[in-house]
Structure 1
Amino acid sequence: MKSKKIALVLLAVNMAVLVASISVLASASTKILQPGLPAQEARPLDLPAALAMLASALAVIGSTIASGMALKSVATAGFAAAAEKPELSTWILIMGGLAEGIAIYGLLVAILILGKI
C-alpha cells in the first residue's frame, strides 16, 4: 500500500516537472513575436536564439530521460526491498526524490539558458 502511494507521489512530481518545462518552452517561443506586430510581420528567429531554445529543450529532454531511468531503478529495487523490510519505505522515497532532482536540475538549466535570450 505504501509503495503505491510513493509511486503516485513520484509520478505527480514528474508530471509537475513536465508541465513546468512545457510552460517555460512555450513562454520562450512567444518571445519570438514582437508584441505590436501582426503574425505576418514577426521578426525571424536568429541563430543564437534558436540555438538557445534548442539547448534548453535538449537539457529538459535529457534530464527527464535520465530521471526516468534512475526512477525505474530506484522503484524496482526499492519495492523489492520494501517487500522484505517495510521500514525501508522512507529510504525509497528519499532515493526517488533524488532521482526526480535530476529532472528539476535540467529544468533549471533550461530556464537559465532561456533567460539569456
Structure 2
Amino acid sequence: MTTPLDPDMFDPVCPSDLSPIRFGDKWAGLIIRCLEDGPRRFSELRVPLRGVTAKVLTQSLRALERDGLIARAEHPTPVRRVEYALTPLGRSMLGPMAAACEWTAEHWDELLDAREASMSLRSAN
C-alpha cells in the first residue's frame, strides 16, 4: 500500500509552471511525479492535481499510456478498480525531469524577470 499523495505536493508557485522545459503536455510531468512511488488510482491523482479537470487528466493519462510511459491496469473486483503505474520507460524520465527541475530552480529569478518583462511589454501595447 502506498502513502497517500500530499494535496500540496505541487505548490501553486511551483517552478514546474515556470519551467520552459515541458515533458509532454502541461500535466504529463506532474502525473509522472505522482506515480514515482507506485501505482495510483485516478481519484488519488486528482488530489495533488486539483487544477486539472477529469477530462484533461484522462486525455493526459491516455497520451502517456500511448507513448509507453505509463501502464493502465484494470482489476476485476466487485467494484471495478483501475490503477496507473510508470513503465520502465516512464521511470527513465525521472532523471531528466529532476535535472529540468534543478535547472529551473537555479534560474528561477531570471525566468521570473523574463516573464515580468514580457507581461510589461504586452500591457504597454
TM-score (norm 1): 0.32
Higher relative contact order (CA 8 A, sep 6+): 1
Q: TM-score, normalised by structure 2?
A: 0.30
Please identify the structure whose Cα radius of gyration is greater: 1
